[in-house]
Structure 1
Amino acid sequence: MATLSSALSIATQSLQAQELELQVANNNIANASTTGYARETVSLSESTTSKDGKLQVGNGVNVTSVTSVRNDLLTLRIQQQTSQQSSSDAQVNALNQIQTLFPSTGTSLASSLSTFFSNLSALSTNPSNSADRQTAIQGAQALVSQFNSISAGLSGPASTLNTTVTTDVSQINQLASQAAQLNLELEQQNSQGQNLGPIGDQLNQVELQLAQLTNISVTHSSQGDTITTGSGTALVLGNQSYALSTSTDSNGNQKILDQNGSDITTQISGGDLGGTIQVRDTQIPSLLTSLDTLANQFATAFNTAQSKGYDENGNAGTALFSVSSTVAGSAASLKLATTDPAAIAASSDGSSGSNGNVANLTALQDAPLSSGLSATGQSANLVYLIGSYTATANSESTSISQSLTALNNQQGSISGVSIDQESANLIQYQQAYAAAAKVVSTIQSLFDTTINMIQ
C-alpha cells in the first residue's frame, strides 16, 4: 500500500541519484582537458514495483553503476596505429642521420670515384708527369678514406641503437609492472562494486605507452587486462608482470629475451623498439653489404687492371689497393697497398711514356663489375637505397599520422567531454534535484500536519 513513508523513500532515492549525476557531470567538466580521461555516465534503473490492490506502484529509482564511455575496438586500433607510427618515426630518426653519409652534393663516395678516375685520365696525356701521378695517388687515398669513413658511419649508429633497445626494454618492464598493479586495483574495486573508470583510464594510458614502445595485444577480463607482445610473449597476466631482458650477441648487438631467456628479437615489430631493430638489423646491414660489395669488387677489378700494365719503372703492375679476400668488412679494411706514385701501371708495354693501360684503368668507372653494375652505378644505388628507406619511413609516418588523427577524433566524439552537453546536463540534474527536494519538503509538511491532527 502506498504511504507517505514510501513516497519519502522514492523522493530520497531521487535526491541521491540526481546528486550523483550532478557529481559525475561536474567531474566530467573538471577533467575535460585531462589526457586519457573517458567521459563518465550514471546508469539508472527503475526499482522493482509493488502491488497496491490491483495496481502496480513504482518504488523509485536505483543507481546501477557509474561507467566510463569507451569503444574497445577504437582503443585497440589506436594502439595498433600508435605502434606503427612510433616504429616509422624511429626509422626516420635513425635513417636521417645515416643519410648524411651519402650527400647528393659536396664530398661523397660518388664524387671521390669521379675525382679519382678524372685524375687517372690526366695520365693519358703525360703518364710520366710526377705531379699528375701524385694527384692520382691522392685521389686513390681520398677514395679509400671515403669507403672507410662511410663504413665507420654505418657501424657507429649500432651503438646508439643498442642503447635505445636497452632503454626501451627497461621502459616496457616498468610499464608492465604498472599495468599489473592497476589490474590488481581494478579487480579489487570490481569486487567491491566501485567505479572502475579512473583505474581503467590509467590502464589505457599505460597500454598506449606500451604500444609506443612495441606492438602489443590486449585482452580484457574481470581480472584486468592481459597484455602480450604481438608474437604472444606475455608481459602482463592479471596482477603479474613478466620482465624482458637484453643480452649481447656475437655481433655486439643487444638481443631481447623473454622471461624464460628465449631470444625474441626477430619477433619484435612495431613501436620504437621494433623500428630501432628494423634499422639496426636489416637496413644498416643491407647498406653495409652493398658498400662492402662495391669496395671489394672495385678494388679487385682495379688491381686486376693494374696487373695488365707496367709501372713507371717498367715493372709489371702490382696491386694499388689492399682489399679483404671476403666481401664482409671490405670497406672498413680497404687501404692503399702503396703510396708510391710510380706504382700506377699506366704503361701497356713497360716503355717510358707509354699510356696504353690508362684506358683499362679508367674504363672501370663505367664498366660492369661482377655484380653487373659499374662502380658508378653501385655508388648511385647506395644513395638510392638509403633514400628509398628514408622516403618509405617518412611516407608511412605521414600516412599513419593522418589515420591516427582520424581515430583519435572519432574516439573523442565518443569518450571525450563536451562542455556544452555537460552544462546542459547540469541544468537538467539541478532541476530534477530541486523537484525531488520539493517532494521531500511537501511530504515533510504532510507528516507535520498529520502529527498535529493526532495531537
Structure 2
Amino acid sequence: MISLMSTLNTASEALMAQEAEISVTNNNIANASTAGYTRETVSLQEAAPTSQGALSVGNGVEVAGITSVRNELLTSRIQQQTSEQGSSDAQVTALTQIQTLFPSTGTSLASSLSGFFTSLSALSSNPTDAANRQTVLSSAQTLVQQFNSVSAGLSGPASSLNTTVKTDVAQINELSSEAASLNQQITSQSATGQSSGTLTDQLGQVETQLASLTNISVTHGTGGDTITTGNGTPLVLAGQSHALQTSTGSDGNTHILDSSGTDITSAISSGDLGGTIQIRDTVLPGLQTSLDTLANQFATAFNSAQASGYTQNGTAGAALFSIPTTVAGSAAAISLTTTDPTAIAASSDGSSGSSGNVANLVALQNSALPSGQSVTTGSANLVYQIGNLTSNATTQQSSISLSLSSLTTQQSSVSGVSIDEESANLIRYQQAYEAAAKVVSTISTLFDTTINMISGS
C-alpha cells in the first residue's frame, strides 16, 4: 500500500545506499597508493515496486553488493609477462657472471692460444735455443690452465643454480599454501554475503608473486582459484595446496617433482625458476660442449702434428697434450705430457737445427678442425656465443619490462584509484545523501502535522 511510511522506507534505503557509496569512496581514496589495491564500487539495484490496482510505485534502491573493478584479461597478461620477466632477469644475471669467463680483452683462452702460437713462430728462427723452447712449453702450460680454468668456471654456477632452484620451489610451496588459505577465506565470506575484495586483492598479489617464480595458469571458480603450472601440474585446487618437491637426479642437478613424484623439470619454462633451469640445463652444457670439443680437437690435431716431426734429440715427436678418450671432460682434463723443452718436435728431418716441422705446428692456428672451424675461430666463437646470449637476454629483458609497464598502466586505468574521480563521486554521493535526508525530514514534518491534526480533533 502506498503511504507516507513506504515513502519513508524508500528515503531510508536511499540514505543507506548513499552512505555505502560514501564509505566505499572514502576507502578507495585511503588506498589510492596501496600496492595491489583494486578500486571498489557499490552495486545498486532498483527495489521491487509496490502495486496498488493499476498503479505501480517504485520503492527506491537496494544495495546489491560491493564490487572490485577488475579486468581479468589484463591480469592474465600481466601474470604471463611477469613470468617472462622473471625468466629474463634470471638469465641476464647468470649470463653476466658467465661472460666474465670469456673476456674479449686481457688474459683469456683466445689470448693464451695466440701467445702459444706466437712462441712457436719464434722457435722457427732458432730451434736449438733453450729459452725459446721453454717459452713454448710455458705458453702451452698457460693454455692448458686456461682450458682448465674456463671449464671449472662453467661447472661452478651449476651449484649456485641448484640452490636457486631449491629456494624457488620452497617459495612456490609457501605461496601456494597462502593462496589456498585465501581461497578458503574468500569462499567463506562470499557464502555469508560479505565483500571479499580485500582478500581477492591479496590473492592477486600472491598469484603475481607465483608468476614471477614460474609459469602459471589461473582459473576462477566458485570454490576459489585453481592455480597450475604451465603444463597443468596443480599448485592450488580451491582450498588445498599441492607442494612441489626437489630431488637430486642422476646428472647431479636438482630436479623438480610434482606432488605425486613425477619429474616436471623440463616443463618449467619461465619465471625465475624457468630462467634458472634454462641456463643450468641448456646454456651451460652447450658452452661446456663447445669448450670440450675445442680442447679435444685442438689437442688431437697438435699431437698429430707433433708426430710428424722430431724432437731436439732426434727422436720421433710424441704427444704434447694429454686428453681423455671422450670429448666430454676434455677441457677440464687437458694437461701437458712433459716438462722437457726438448720434446717439442720442431725438426722435420731429425737434426737438432731443423725447424721444418714448426710450420706444421703453427699452421694449426688457422687450419680447420673436424668441427669445421680453426682453433682461433673456435675460441672467438665461444666469446661471441656467450656475448650473443647475454645481449639477446638483455634485449628481451628490456622489451618485456616495457610491455609489463604498459600493461600495468592499462590495469591502473581500470582498477586503480583516481583521486579526481573519487573526489567528484564523493560530492555527488554527498548531494544525493543530503537530498534523501531532506525527504526523511519532510516525511517527519508531515507525520508531525498529521499527529497534531489528530490530537487537535
TM-score scaled by length of structure 1: 0.99
Name 1:41's counterpart in structure 2. Answer: 41
Aligned length: 455
1:118 is matched with: 118
CA distance in 1, matches of 2:357, 2:66: 89
Identity of aligned residues (%): 68
Retained in 1: the 8 A contact 2:2–2:50?
no
Q: Tell me the distance in 2 between the aligned counterparts of 1:295 and 1:122.
A: 23
Name stretches of at least 5 consecutive residues in structure 2 with no aligned partner: none
| Contact 1:290/1:382 (8 A) holds in 2 | yes
1:402 aligns with 2:396: no
Q: Could you tell me which residue of structure 2 aligns to residue 412 of structure 1?
A: 412
Provide the residue aligned with 1:90 in structure 2. Answer: 90
Other-structure match for 2:181: 181
1:195 aligned residue: 195
Matching residue of 1:145? 145
Query: Which has the higher mean CA deviation after the structures are superposed, 188-197 or 24-33?
Result: 188-197
> What CA deviation, in whole Å up to 9, does each residue of 1:136-179 have, x standing for no partner?
11100000010000000000000110000000000000000000
| Residue of structure 2 in register with 1:321 after alignment | 321
8 Å contact 1:120–1:136 — kept in the other structure? yes
1:356-435 equivalences in 2 (<5 Å): 356-435=356-435
Q: CA deviation at 1:251?
A: 2.1
For residues 217 and 421 of structure 2, the distance between their equivalents in structure 1, rounded to whole angstroms, comes to: 34
What SS is found at the alignment partner of 1:365? coil
CA distance in structure 1 between the aligned counterparts of 2:44 and 2:256, rounded to whole angstroms: 50
Task: Work out whether residues 112 and 139 of structure 1, in 8 Å CA contact, stay in contact via their aligned partners in 2.
Answer: yes
Q: How many Å apart are 1:65 and its aligned residue?
A: 1.1
Match in the other structure for 2:267:
267
AA in 2 matched with 1:38: T
1:75 is paired with a residue whose SS is: helix
Output the TM-score relative to the length of structure 2: 0.99
Amino acid in the other structure paired with 2:449: T
Residues 190 and 222 in structure 1, CA contact (< 8 A), matched pair in contact too:
no
For residues 352 and 395 of structure 2, the distance between their equivalents in structure 1, rounded to whole angstroms, comes to 59
- Whichever residue aligns with residue 434 of structure 1, its letter is E
Partner of 1:300: 300
1:439, CA displacement in angstroms?
A: 1.2
**Partners of 1:105 and 1:94 in 2: how far apart?**
21
| Map of 1:343 onto structure 2 | 343
Corresponding residue for 2:78?
Answer: 78
Q: 1:61-76 maps to which residues of 2 (within 5 A)?
A: 61-76=61-76
Show the counterpart of 2:243. Answer: 243
2:292 is aligned with 1:253: no
Report the counterpart of residue 99 of structure 1 in structure 2. Answer: 99
The residue aligned with 1:13 is 13
Instruction: Work out whether residues 21 and 42 of structure 1, in 8 Å CA contact, stay in contact via their aligned partners in 2.
Output: yes
Give me the whole-angstrom Cα distance separating, in 1, the residues matched to 2:53 and 2:235. Answer: 61
Structure 1 residue 54: Cα displacement: 2.4
Letter in 1 for 2:135: T
Distance in 1, Cα, partners of 2:340 & 2:247: 47
Deviation track 1:87-144 (CA, whole Å, cap 9, x = no partner) reads 0111000000000000011011111000000001111000010001111111000000
Task: Measure, in 2, the Cα distance between the counterparts of 1:249 and 1:223.
Answer: 37
- Could you say what secondary structure the match of 2:236 adopts? strand
Matched, 1:226 2:208: no
Contact 1:249 1:255 in 2 (8 A): yes
Matches of 2:95 and 2:422 in 1, distance apart?
Answer: 47
Q: Is the 8 A contact 1:37 1:416 kept in 2?
A: yes
Residues 311 and 352 in structure 2, CA contact (< 8 A), matched pair in contact too = no
Task: Write the distance in 2 (CA, Å) between the matches of 1:51 and 1:264.
Answer: 65
Runs of 4 or more, structure 1, over 6 Å off, are none
Equivalence for 1:26:
26
In structure 2, how many angstroms separate the alpha carbons of the residues matched to 1:388 and 1:55? 80
Letter matched to residue 16 of structure 1 = M
Partners of 2:39 and 2:194 in 1: CA distance: 16
Alignment-mate amino acid for residue 222 of structure 1: T
Distance 1:222 1:263 in 2: 31
Shift of 1:229: 0.2
Kept in 2, the 8 Å contact 1:109–1:146? The answer is yes
- 2:162 is the counterpart of 1:158: no
**CA-CA distance at 1:52 after TM superposition:** 3.0
Q: Using the TM superposition, give the Cα deviation of residue 38 of structure 1 relative to its aligned residue in structure 2, in angstroms.
A: 0.8
**Per-residue deviation, 1:28:** 0.4
Counterpart AA for 1:454: I
Q: Name the aligned partner's letter for residue 383 of structure 1.
A: V
> What is the distance in 1 between the residues matched to 2:429 and 2:21?
7
